[in-house]
Amino acid sequence: MAFTSNKCCNCNTKFTKRCSKHSNSTRYNRVSINSNIKRRPFTPIVALRDVGVELAPMRPGQQDSRYLCDDCVIKIRDISDSQRKFAEAREGLDAASKKNSYLGRKLKRLHSPSTLKTQKRGGEQAHGAPSLAKAIRETMPLEFELAPGRMIGGDHPCYIIAEIGQNHQGEIQIAKDLIKVAKDAGADCAKFQKSELSYKFNKAALARPYTSKNSWGKTYGEHKEFLEFSHDQYKELQDYANQIGIHFTASGMDEKAVDFLHDLGVPFFKVGSGDTNNLPYISRTAEKGRPMIVSSGMQSMETMRKVYKILKDKGATFCFLQCTSAYPLEAEDVHLRCIEAYRKEFPDIPIGYSGHESGATITVGAVALGAKVVERHITMDKSWKGSDHEASLEPDELKDLVRQIRLVERALGGTVKEMRECELPTFNKLGKSIVAARDIPSGSVITADMLGVKVAEPKGLQPENIADLIGKRTTRAIDYDDSIRKGDVTE
């Protein structure tokens, strides 16, 4: 008896039939891509064993006939380059757990006797497929290509977005000047905000009077229309960004704007906080197949879980940004620890930060906490009319932010604690050694009162090894205050 399924046990993509031209263990899915029919192989899940995954046992007399689609197999085999490698599983679940490895804990729980015992009998749950699929999803790579030639996550440099938004005052030349500011400061991307007003606002919202000091029109609709660039102007700005060598994108503030940006060919979509809980928008944007950066201002963790699930089910590559939607933002309202919470809750995606505070310090702190993407508004002059200018960075501040981020990235270094080459001069000058606390005749059995620790010439054995010398015998006479060196003692 064989347990069979008509879909990938990881992503639930269905297959249609066996292919007679291949072995009986190969199944194929017919999917439509650009109106062309393409076949993708399904791989038996038992093939996972060669990447170190232990599968839940089948009931007596059953054969494991679950399958994985080609995309999931590729993702699994790419894990060797991610921060949670299946190589840890090869070293053994016990070793992984001792390292406090997230992957080790996941797989150990997945295949523990108590887990297997409590799984329901019958259907996929009896065979652990959903649990295995969850483990696979949660250990996929933490890095992806956000824009051509630019990876994010993992050990790649933080991706810095200069958010121009509508700080261009409705003038195309100011917009170009701000793109140049972003490029000159060393930012990776210049970003705008694109709206198709009749799709973003209803008639009443556009018609309401707008008498704010920041207003560019008598109604809110006139105000927004004044600040909105045309499609041709966006193409002009994109061409200029390409010319000077900086990525160009925009937040699509409604689905029609996303359609336009997709046709324009932006490298990735940015989802503003106001659309993060607009789940139909999230779903339809993901279906376009471009990477996504999703801000989380005004949202709860439960909402972010829903967004995560939708994007995962759509096969999207994406990251979340911690964000508090206040302009300007006070330090006590930033909550940088949410970055850590996101990294724990969503361990398979990069996490970043979108800030509206003054200065660079908090954003640099976000990078130190693991933010792989940061976004900050920029302006030519904070005193200009507009609600975002006060929470924006002027050109010199943006340069300073980029400089500090790159500096703290250098300082983060690696996770292995060891003596560094740069420490050797200090060690050679001030590092201490084990010395004789009194004259020790040759052949003496060493006791604790015979040993001391001092800065000594020449260097002797390291002080952390002092307990290892107790009970050993000297091979030579050692004068008071002399260094005790390798070869001076024996068993």
| Range 143-150 average pLDDT | 96
- pLDDT at position 171: 97
Q: pLDDT, tens digit, for every residue of 308-363?
A: 999 999 999 999 999 999 999 999 999 999 999 999 999 999 999 999 999 999 99
The percent of residues in the chain predicted with pLDDT above 70, rounded, is 71
Confidence category of residue 15, pLDDT binned at 50, 70, 90: low
pLDDT band per the 50, 70, 90 thresholds, residue 50? very low
Is the per-residue pLDDT at 33 higher than 50? no
Closest alpha carbon to 375 in 390, 359, 354, 396: 354
Q: From residue 164, how far is each of 25, 36, 155, 169, 181 by CA, in Å? A: 54, 39, 27, 10, 10
What is the predicted pLDDT for the residue at 20? 39
pLDDT at 131 over 90: no
| Average pLDDT of span 115-138 | 44
Lowest-pLDDT range of 130-139, 193-202, 331-340? 130-139
pLDDT at 231: 97
Highest mean pLDDT among 18-27, 135-144, 446-455: 446-455
**pTM of structure:** 0.71
Give the number of C-alpha atoms closer than 13 A to the C-alpha of residue 286, restricted to the C-beta side: 22
| Residue 488 predicted with pLDDT over 70 | yes
Residue 152 phi/psi, 5° resolution? -125, 160
* pLDDT recorded at residue 142: 83
pLDDT at 380: 98
Structure tokens at 205: 């919202």
Backbone φ, ψ for residue 7 (5° rounding): -155, 165
Q: What's residue 250's pLDDT? A: 98
Q: Which residue has the higher pLDDT, 76 or 442?
A: 442
> What's the pLDDT at 345?
96
Task: Output 12 or 286, whichever has higher pLDDT.
Answer: 286
What is the pLDDT averaged over residues 200-217? 95
Extract the tokens encoding 82: 């991610």
Rounded mean pLDDT of 70-93?
A: 48
pLDDT tens-digit readout, 389-427: 999 999 999 999 999 999 999 999 988 999 999 999 999
Residues 6+ apart with CB under 8 A from 467: none
Mean pLDDT value of segment 460-465 = 96
Taking alpha carbons only, the member of 108, 79, 76 closest to residue 92 is 108
Mean pLDDT, the chain, whole residue set: 82
What pLDDT is attached to residue 484?
Answer: 97
Nearest Cα neighbor of 158 from 406, 414, 347 is 406
Other C-beta atoms within 10 Å of 377: how many? Answer: 24
Considering only CA atoms, which of 120, 133, 111, 138 is closest in space to residue 66?
A: 133
